[in-house]
Amino acid sequence: VGGGYVEQAQQHAKSRQALVRILLEQRKWPTDGWDDATIELFLKEISLMDSNNFMGNVGVGEREARVASRLVAQRHFGLGHGVGRSGDIAAIQPKAAGSSLLAQLTKRMLLDVVKLAGLQRMKACLLLPVATGMGMVMTLLTLRTLRPGAKYVVWPRIDQKSCLKAIFTAGFEPLIIENVLEGDELRTDLEAVAKIIEEKKAENIVCIMSTTSCFAPRAQDRVEELAQICKAHEIPHVINNAYGLQASKCTHSINEAMRIGRVDVVVHSTDKNLLVPVGGSILASHDPNLLDTISKTYPGRASGSPAIDVFITLLSLGSSGYAKLLAQRKHVYKYMKQKLQEFAAANGERVLETKHNQISIALSLDSFACKRKDMSFLGSMLFARNVSGTRVVTGVTTKEINGASFASYGAHYNEYPSVYLTAAAAIGMTSEDVDNFIERLQKVFVQFRKRLTQGLPEGEESRPKPETLLDEEEES
C-alpha cells in the first residue's frame, strides 16, 4: 500500500495518539469526547501493560489475574488485578501498571468533573469501588480513628435507609434532627442542631452528616449554616450529595459552605451522576490528606470495574458532553415542573412549592376519595405501565431501623399534610420522557378514579400488582 493515502492515514493515527499523549501528560479531562474506537484502542494498550497480559509471563503467585472464562476476560478488557494494594486502595500495583494508570487518570479527571459541576473549592477526589452507602461507612470509620471516643453522628432526618444504616454499620449512634415545615418545604432545624451539640458535647460527636440531594418536599439541608456550626465547634462535616453533583443548586450551596464554614468530605454516587452502572462513589475534599487517610483505611484490593466504567464514560463524554448533559437536565427539570403544574391544574391537584430542591418534584394526591394508604396502588399502576422511579408517599407507614423508629417513614416528617407523588428530573432524562410520563400519569389518574367509584375494571386483576414497591424511598 503506497503513496499519499497511507501518509494521510498515518497522520490521522497520529492525531489519535496525540489525544492519548496529551491525556497522559496533562492528566486533564479532555474537552471533546473521544470516539469509542479511540477509547477501546487505549484500553487495549493499558491492558497490555498489566503483567498477566505480558507475552511469555509465568505467574507463580497466588494472585495472578488468571481468568477462566473468555467472556469474563473480555468484559474487563483483559484487566484482572483490580485496583489498590493491600494497604491502600489508591496505591500503584507493581504487577498492574496499566490498571494503576487507569485508576490514576480517572482520579485526576474526577477532580475536573466535580469542579465543572460547581465544587470549585475541591482539591482532590477519591473513587471508591463501593456505592454511596459504603462510601459513607469508610468515611465514618476513618473519622473514628481521628476522633477516638466520639460516638454520635448528628443527622438531620432523611428517609433513606443507606445513610442511616451507614451510621449504625460504622458503630455510631445517630442523633436524629427532625425537619421543620416551611410552607410546603421540609427544612433543617438549625436550632435543634445547636441544642443537641450543646447537650452531647462537641468532642463526643464524630460529625454532622447532612444531605443535599433528596426527594421533595424535603429540601436540601442548610449546608452553609451547618458548615458554620461545624467550624465553630470543630466538628467534622460530611455531606451526602449522592446525586447532587448533577444539580448546580446543590453544588453551589456546598461550595459556599466550604467558603464560609467547614466541610470535610462530600460523597457522591457514580451511577446517579455519571450514568454508569451502580458500583462506585466519589469522595471529594479540599484536603488531599484526609482522602489519603480514607484510602489507606480501605484494606486490600478492590474491583477495578467501577473505575473502568467511569474512565470510559468520562473520555466518551468529554467535559463539553457532560456540560451539555447538565444543561439538558436543568432544562428538563423546568419542563417537568411546568408540565406537572399544568397537569395539576387540570386534575384538581397542585405541585408542592419546593424551591430548595431542584431535582425532585412532588405532586399532591389529595383529590381522591380513598384512604391514605390505598393511594400507594396508584404508584403500582404507574410501574405496571412502565413508569419507574415515582414514589407515592402516604405518610402512614411507621418503620423501625436498627432500633430507631420513624413515623410517616418516607415523608421525612411525622405528619406531612398531603399525600403526594414524587418524580425526579435526573441527568440523562429527556423532555420526551416527561411527555410520556405525563401521558401515562393522566391515564392512571382516570383509571384509578374509575376504580375507586366502580371497582376494578375487567382484566385489571390479571395484571402484575407489585403494590409494595413504592412504600419507601430507594437509594444506593
CA 303 remoteness from chain centre: 19
- Residues 164-203 as x/- pattern, contact with a second copy by CB under 8 A: -xx-xxxx--------------------------------
User: According to the binding rule CB under 8 A, does residue 298 interact with a second copy?
Assistant: yes
> Nine-digit cell at 462?
390479571
Residue 23's φ and ψ, nearest 5 degrees, are: -60, -45
Binding-site member from 29, 30, 65, 212 for a second copy (CB under 8 A): 65
Burial track 348-376 (b if 16+ CB lie within 10 A, e otherwise): ebbbbebebbbbbbbbbbeebeeebebbb
Q: Specify the DSSP class assigned to residue 266.
A: E
User: According to the binding rule CB under 8 A, does residue 457 interact with a second copy?
Assistant: no
Binding-site member from 30, 78, 236, 395 for a second copy (CB under 8 A): 78
# residues contacting a second copy (CB under 8 A) = 156
For a second copy, the binding residues in 315-334 under the rule CB under 8 A are: 316-317, 325
User: According to the binding rule CB under 8 A, does residue 464 interact with a second copy?
Assistant: yes
Which residue in the block uniquely carries the three cell numbers 398531603?
Answer: 418
Inter-residue contact 318 to 30 (CB < 8 Å): yes
The piece of 79-87, 106-114, 198-206, 445-453 that touches a second copy (CB under 8 A) is: 79-87
Q: Cβ closer to a second copy: 210 or 240?
A: 240
Binding-site member from 22, 428, 450, 457 for a second copy (CB under 8 A): 428
The piece of 183-191, 220-228, 303-311, 442-450 that touches a second copy (CB under 8 A) is: 303-311
Strands 185-187 and 180-182: antiparallel
Inter-residue contact 212 to 184 (CB < 8 Å): no
User: According to the binding rule CB under 8 A, does residue 267 interact with a second copy?
Assistant: no
Residue 476, number of CB atoms within 10 A of its CB: 17
- Residue 166, C-beta contacts closer than 8 angstroms, at least 6 positions apart: 133, 134, 136, 137, 140
Inter-residue contact 249 to 91 (CB < 8 Å): no
For a second copy, the binding residues in 97-136 under the rule CB under 8 A are: 97-98, 100-101, 104, 129-134, 136
Binding-site member from 21, 31, 300, 456 for a second copy (CB under 8 A): 300
- Residues 335-374 as x/- pattern, contact with a second copy by CB under 8 A: -x----------------------xx--------------
The piece of 114-122, 188-196, 231-239, 465-473 that touches a second copy (CB under 8 A) is: 465-473
How many Å apart are CA 45 and CA 392, to the nearest integer?
A: 49
